[in-house]
Amino acid sequence: MSFTLMLLYYWAANRKHFYWCTKSKNQKNVGGSVMNIFSLFSNQDINKGVDKFRNTSGSVLLDVRTKDEHNQGHIEGSINIPLDRLEIVQDTIKNKETPLFVYCHSGARSGQAVDYLKRVGYTNVENIGGYMNYKEKVVR
């Protein structure tokens, strides 16, 4: 996939929170929720993220894909709260210090979910990337 197509896809998936990472002279972020353009190229390894989830006591593996996507296959132990219904997370996971490991299909929606979860007060949230790169056994 060309860089331009990747950038367009990323922009479309994250259009509510897409900003070029700019700094003012005093090095404060400009524009509120700033998403660094270089985060597009960060190499999240969902397999390492799932291992970290399994080795973190009291953690939650959160799948923010649609219900249909989740039913087609998901990582064992994950709970499904689709991105468009993420506001219910506060009813499901009441302790905002709970370690949350978030995934979706490619990593874009989980990035949006992590931004939202941090805004509503969750303090230990990690985007572990995309299910499409998961190499272990899945639940169907």
Average the pLDDT over 18-37 and give the result: 36
In the block, which residue shows the tokens 């700019």?
22
Percent of the chain with pLDDT over 90: 69
pLDDT of 92-138, one tens digit each?
999 999 999 999 999 999 999 999 999 999 999 999 999 999 999 99
Q: Tell me, what CATH number does 111's domain have?
A: 3.40.250.10
Is the whole model's pTM more than 0.95, yes or no? Answer: no
Tell me, what amino acid is at 73? G
Q: What is the number of structural domains in the chain?
A: 2
Residues 34 and 52 in one domain: no
CA–CA separation, 91 vs 14, rounded Å?
A: 25
- The answer on pLDDT for 3 being more than 90 is no
Verify whether residue 104 is a known catalytic residue: yes
101 within 8 A of 126, measured Cβ to Cβ: yes
Give the tens place of pLDDT for each residue, 33-53: 444 443 444 568 999 999 999
Look up the domain containing 121 and give its range.
43-140
DSSP letter string over 58-93? T-EEEE-S-HHHHHH-B-TTEEE--GGGGGGHHHH-
pLDDT above 90 (res 7): no
Catalytic residue among 40, 60, 75, 104: 104
My answer on whether 81 and 133 are in the same domain is: yes
**Is the same domain home to 51 and 69?**
yes
Closest CA to 92 of 79, 83, 73: 79
Of 2 and 85, the structure prediction assigns the larger pLDDT to: 85
Indicate if 61 and 108 belong to the same structural domain. Answer: yes
| Same domain for 102 and 121 | yes
Cβ-based neighbours of 109, under 8 Å, separated by 6 or more = 13, 64, 65, 83
Q: Which of 16-30, 84-98, 100-114 has the lowest mean pLDDT?
A: 16-30
Same domain, 33 and 57: no
